[in-house]
């Protein structure tokens, strides 16, 4: 096995950790902005396999990352299930909302998503043939809780209040949404693997707003169901889990859900994570994305501190969340050089 990303996911401690960045294909790159303009709008870019593959490859060409992540969006899955989806310039996604049992009636089943998502699978196939031999291809999906928060509120919200209200006020409808998303996510990720994805990542961006038993039921349990089924269908498939802002709930999460790697955000320290989480296996993270904007010696120092903290176990270097549109592309190279000893 020569790909450093796959070696780290298999539990190997490497002298230099593999590197990739969440949202590494995106608005901070001028070449991305040019390709998106050619596509016309964000969703047209997601559903154009040639252009989606192109923007996925752009940061690999520019920086030589150890992994490429499929360019898509977590909300393509609810759209495939029958939700209306559109993007408002400068504001983000909007969806038709589910506020009760009536909203479920218009949704499709888990086996009816593939025609809509066929362009995504084609993007994976194109990337599988186009990436350098030493670059790992990552597929992904949003975790059920996070995707449900958008489907219920119709947009991103600061506290996921509408989803919590439905979870408490109409547990039957809420549970049906989670169950449908769990099963559909299995089918979606499985098809990405069949198309050529070597690793899959489950993004639970709003896991941190679930407390106590709700975290166990709606963050941990669906992740376990998805990972268990994917590994049954695709033996040896590495899976990265990212229950963002889980805090102490990070402890034991990877082991509980069967993930090969736990991605962590930058609200926890690398030193704490090395002590409390890395004994269970590979850790991915966790540089504060603001360093990609501010740069300088602080970026270099923090990058080196994270590498040092995790040097005694398997580690994939990444940000604690996605790179932001106002990041300076030169700071990305500065980070890579700091990780690789340049």
User: Quick one: tokens of 326?
Assistant: 């106002």
The CATH number given to whatever domain includes residue 296 is 3.20.20.210
What average pLDDT score do residues 208-235 get? 98
Range of the structural domain that residue 273 is part of: 4-340
Q: Are 243 and 252 in contact (CB under 8 A)?
A: no
- Please state the pTM of the whole predicted model: 0.98
Q: Identify the pLDDT of residue 191.
A: 98
> What are the residues whose beta carbons fall under 8 Å from the beta carbon of 179, sequence distance 6 or more?
none
| Phi, psi dihedral angles at 251 (to 5 degrees) | -65, 120
What average pLDDT score do residues 311-331 get? 98
- Residue 135: pLDDT over 80: yes
Q: Which residue(s) pair with 200 in the sheet?
A: 139, 239
Q: Which residues are catalytic?
A: 23, 27, 36, 73, 150
| Phi, psi dihedral angles at 48 (to 5 degrees) | -105, 100
What average pLDDT score do residues 173-200 get? 98
Residue 229: which region, alpha, beta or left (left: phi > 0; alpha: psi -120 to 50)?
A: alpha
Q: Identify the pLDDT of residue 1.
A: 60
Q: Identify the pLDDT of residue 100.
A: 94
Q: Identify the pLDDT of residue 282.
A: 98
Considering its fold, how many domains does the chain have in total?
1
Q: Identify the pLDDT of residue 2.
A: 84
Which of 66-70, 89-93, 122-126, 264-268 is predicted with the least confidence, judged by mean pLDDT?
89-93
What average pLDDT score do residues 32-59 get? 97
């Amino acid at each position: 096995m020569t790909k450093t990303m796959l070696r780290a996911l298999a539990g190997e401690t490497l002298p230099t950790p593999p590197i990739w960045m969440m949202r590494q294909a995106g608005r901070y790159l001028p070449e991305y902005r040019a390709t998106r303009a050619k596509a016309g709008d964000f969703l047209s870019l997601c559903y154009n396999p040639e252009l989606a593959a192109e923007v996925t490859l752009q940061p690999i060409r520019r920086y030589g990352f150890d992994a490429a992540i499929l360019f898509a969006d977590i909300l393509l899955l609810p759209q495939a299930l029958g939700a209306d989806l559109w993007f408002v310039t400068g504001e983000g996604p909007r969806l038709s909302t589910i506020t009760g049992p009536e909203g479920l009636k218009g949704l499709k089943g888990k086996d009816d998503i593939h025609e809509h998502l066929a362009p995504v699978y084609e993007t994976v196939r194109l990337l599988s043939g186009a990436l350098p031999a030493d670059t790992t291809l990552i597929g992904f999906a949003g975790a059920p809780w996070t995707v449900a928060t958008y489907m219920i509120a119709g947009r991103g919200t600061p506290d996921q209040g509408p989803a919590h209200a439905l979870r408490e006020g109409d547990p039957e409808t809420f549970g049906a949404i989670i169950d449908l998303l769990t099963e559909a996510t299995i089918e979606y990720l499985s098809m990405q693997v069949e198309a050529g994805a070597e690793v899959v990542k489950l993004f639970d961006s709003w896991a941190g707003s679930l407390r106590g038993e709700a975290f166990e039921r709606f963050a941990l349990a669906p992740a376990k169901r998805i990972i268990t089924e994917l590994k049954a269908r695709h033996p040896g498939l590495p899976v990265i889990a990212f229950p963002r802002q889980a805090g102490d709930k990070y402890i034991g999460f990877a082991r509980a859900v069967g993930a090969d790697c736990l991605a962590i955000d930058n609200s926890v320290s690398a030193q704490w994570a090395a002590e409390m989480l890395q004994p269970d296996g590979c850790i991915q993270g966790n540089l504060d994305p603001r360093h990609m904007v501010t740069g300088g010696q602080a970026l270099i120092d923090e990058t080196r501190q994270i590498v040092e903290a995790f040097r005694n176990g398997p580690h994939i270097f990444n940000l604690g969340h996605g790179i932001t549109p106002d990041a300076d592309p030169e700071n990305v190279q500065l980070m890579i050089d700091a990780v690789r000893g340049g």
